[in-house]
Structure 1
């Protein structure tokens, strides 16, 4: 029995102990999803829909079939029998009361409606595996079909896109229908930005799983959201397994803080310089500051020279207007005066322009010039900053520190691997009040989230002394733990 076959299964009686069919039987009763829906409506369960019943019919039958296979001896006793219409309806009513009547929403429904993040740690069960059609590459060779999972929280199902390590596990049969997966750091991929109801979301919504944040869960693990994080160990990681949701590591070696500068030329081509030591970076920074100060001084000098020239124009117009220029509150300059200002831009023609201004307009023109000077001074800071950024662009420098780390604890295999962990923007990290930024000590233990594989071609296998390479992201979070403290 699988969720794919369950829609076609029906019971032939509502009795726990069906009698053998006799020649007197004239009609065989078929009790399936439609009958379950009708019975719910008869009992006043008006919130149920046919689609809701069909969904839960499949998952209830699959669950009961697994319980029967685990404890077949209980099927002989009507009191403990599970594979019967009565038990199916009991479970259907329980789900109705808990979800539709009680308002308790299962994990996948919360994720589809975007009321809970898909990245939360949870245990899901593989309910189906489908394969893409065989394709042909550009070189004429055939491409291996790609698997896609269908996963369930026991209440609803969603499709799940897998990366290459998970695909390899599916091809090897390690992941198969009925297996439970502990996943964290999943993403929700949807064709629509708006939240969707879970029963309408199947064809347009997918979970995106990464191998480095997934592992097999025991058969008895409870489905749904989990309280604590799923901690990955170095031995479980692969270079193509995507994001590592959580790690619990101990620092065994540290390298000095270094700096890399990211550059972009006028053609938009990007490059980088470094890494530089702290002293080298300080020297480069000082050189950049001196150049920027020189350029800023030039811009300020040009601005003052320009504004001083306009000040002289205003004084000339005020002198021409004389002491009798006393306009009323309702008076204002003519359009001709407003338009004259732009003609002052060129110093070679400014004098000729000023000589054409009549004495009656000179006072107004002086006011216009002084108003423009005031506005230009107000905007000068931002304008100078933009021009300065064009002449001497701000530096894009990131600091980092390479740490060698090992697992704080392992599960079954010995801790053969160590990792070089590149902690970006390390000077933003402090782990105690008044502590030195970016400071680490050998033996310190941390819970670190959202790491990504780096230097993938340099990853080693699982032999003793092997090294792998990881890097932090912008959303990486560090939590300092006591050396004997268990990760939460």
Structure 2
């Protein structure tokens, strides 16, 4: 049944009307994921054809599944699904009580529960279609994916106090379900406020995106074993209440937030479509580290000031590099001169085969470090040893130049360190897509690294008014509100 297109609406029937359809209203009201485990159907003939003289509860359901060959079903699995199936069926009975008059369409009965458990067994255990929360906890799907969940329980901490002994306003812990499994959820302050006001309550559906999985385990785990060690962390700016008829589980398209729905303490915004209405010039902030290793901000500056400072830094760095290379070039020029004199001394005795002398490394070091000793070596070395030493100087030249490049780069970093500059651009935006409320809010978004920003494979040549973007907004530590990931919309 497609609930969205049906004529059914929640709470359309009063208690007296439900009783008129033969429904025990008090019994249905008491059914929830916690109390359902203690519920049993009255003894009747089971779907396997054997007479049962006892009440039919979750233990009998496990026996029934095993009798039908469902060997993978465990006690924990049946208890989990028994409670969620009964909770769902109780809601469907209250939504569509007329179906209870037809034995073929009746929901609140033992045979319907077994049918639903068999369906879940085939999909969840015997097949390959695992539910969303199970995929997330086993780390086979991302918790950031957009999905619709149902609030199955709300727990409030008992009397929390701060370090001074004063009572503090606590946040609730939610329990959410995808209709198949349950998981605890931690919420931020906006969602806690919504819970205190009653907007979030048991049975309501919530659309979430950009959630995080917090677990005591680094690797994935089976969800029935991970309830006490794993929580889903959801935030207000990436969540909204879903309609009662929304289908639980993963959603194909992202949920689009609007400016009206955002709060300063609501965390990340998973997705929002904005239209640019004004673009401010690109500005720059430089981060400078003091002698204590602390970074301070210098700026913001406009493009002219930044270009001037960058040119000054570039000239200084080139000057320091030239000085360092001059020292190396002078040393190499000296060694190159030694090599030419050694080749001249070797002449026809230049070695083509054989082994070099044992002390030619010492001779090379002496040439580099002691000019006085170099003169003695050049005047007294044998022609054959001179040939070996000349060849060694030439071979070392390439390696020493590479070493010199690395050493000069390190010295340059100490003398004239690279500048830590971030560019940004502030754009004024409005909602490009709204559903219920008009576009009556505008906002300023700070786009960091705007100069090098790309959209897919294209370089962004600056922002223009009228452009539309799908953005993910992340609270930033800078003195600005939000930092976006931007994707250009093809419109």
| TM tier, smaller | 0.7 to 0.9
RMSD: 2.8
Q: Deviations over 1:195-253 (max 9, x none)?
A: 22222222222211110010111111110111221111111111000001111222222
Q: Alpha carbons of 1:454 and 1:232: their partners in 2 closer, same or farther (altered >3 Å)? A: farther
Q: Which moved more, 1:140-149 or 1:91-100?
A: 140-149
| Alpha-carbon distance change, 277 to 98 in structure 1, aligned in 2, over 3 angstroms | same
Partner of residue 380, structure 1: 404
Do structure 1's residue 241 and structure 2's residue 250 form an aligned pair? Answer: no
Mapping of 1:8-407 within 5 angstroms?
Answer: 8-15=38-45, 29-315=54-340, 317-318=342-343, 323-326=348-351, 328-329=353-354, 331-334=355-358, 336-344=359-367, 346-347=369-370, 350-351=373-374, 354=377, 359=382, 361-407=385-431
Distance apart, 1:448 and its partner CA: 1.6
CA contact (8 A) 1:454 1:471 kept: no
Distance 2:155 2:376 in 1: 81
TM-aligned CA distance change 1:253 to 1:325, over 3 Å: closer
**Conserved in 1, the CA contact under 8 Å of 2:335 and 2:368?**
no
CA distance in 1, matches of 2:437, 2:456: 34
Give the TM-score of the pair, scaled to structure 2: 0.84
CA contact (8 A) 1:136 1:143 kept: yes
* Selected match of 2:488 from 461, 474, 479: 479
- TM-aligned CA deviation for residue 301 of structure 1: 1.1
Preserved CA contact (<8 Å) 1:98 1:104? yes
Q: Using structure 1 for the length normalisation, give the TM-score.
A: 0.85
Deviates more, 1:277-286 or 1:71-80: 71-80
Deviations 1:269-312 (A, max 9, x none): 11222211111111111111111211221122111111122233
**Cα deviation 1:349-368 (Å, max 9, x = unaligned):** 65488479753755444433
Count the aligned residue pairs: 455
Q: Gaps (5+ residues) in structure 1? A: 17-26, 457-468, 483-488
Alignment partner of 1:446 out of 459, 462, 469: 469
Contact (CA 8 Å) 1:156, 1:198: kept in 2 or not?
A: yes
DSSP 3-state at the match of 2:202:
coil
Listed as ranges, the gaps of 5+ residues in structure 2 are 1-30, 47-51
The Cα of 1:339 is off from its aligned counterpart by 4.0
Shift of residue 191, structure 1, vs aligned partner: 2.1
